[in-house]
Structure 1
Amino acid sequence: MVTNYTTAMATVNVIDGVRYGLDLIVYIFVIGLATGLGLLIGIAIGGVDNIVFSLIGALLALASFLAFYAGMMGILYKVIADGVTVGMKAANESSETRTSPRPK
C-alpha cells in the first residue's frame, strides 16, 4: 500500500500552520504563567514556619501543578482532535472531487 503524504500536507497551508502554532505557544505561555505563579506562591507560603501555612502552600502548589498538567493534556487533546478533523475534511473533499470512471 502506497500512501501519498503530499496530499495530506497540502490540506494545511503554511499561514494556517504558523497561526495554529502561535496560538498554541500563547496558550502554553498563559497556562505556564498562571500555574507557575500559583506554584511559586504555594512554595513561598509553604516555606513559612507554621504547619497551617505549610499545608496551605503545599495544597496551592499541588493544585497549580495539576492545573498545569490538565492544561497540557488539553493541548494534546486539541492537537489530536484538530488533526483528525482536518484529515476527515481532506478525505471527504478528495472523495467528493473524484470523478467516476467513464463507462466503456
Structure 2
Amino acid sequence: MPKLAAESVMRGQLRHSMDLVGGDRITLQVMLYRAVAHSGLDGPFFIFGMPVPGMDVIMVDNVASAVYLQDDDGVQRFRALFDALRASALGPAPSLEWLRQVATDL
C-alpha cells in the first residue's frame, strides 16, 4: 500500500524537531498517551523567565483570551505544574528514540 503524502510531511516534521535538539537551549520530551490524566490537560501556558529575579511572567492561553500572572504564588504554581509535566513525560533521550521509531514506522 502506498504511503500518504501526509505521512512524509509528518516524518519531515519529526526529523526537523529531532534536529533542533542537542544544545542547551531546547529540551524535547514526549508525553505518551498512556499518561492519560496529567496536569497539562487544562491548556497551554508559557513561562517567561526574566533575568531580574521576581519578574517572571506566566501566560495562560485559551481560545477566548490570555491571562498573565506575575504574582509569586501564580508563578510558583505554574513552575510546579511544569516540573510535574516534565516528570510525567519521557526523558529527553527516550523521547528522541521514541520519535525516531515513530518516524521510521511512518
TM-score, length-normalised on structure 1?
0.30
Q: Which has the higher helix share?
A: 1
Q: Which has the higher strand share?
A: 2
TM-score, length-normalised on structure 2?
0.30
**Larger Rg over CA atoms:** 1
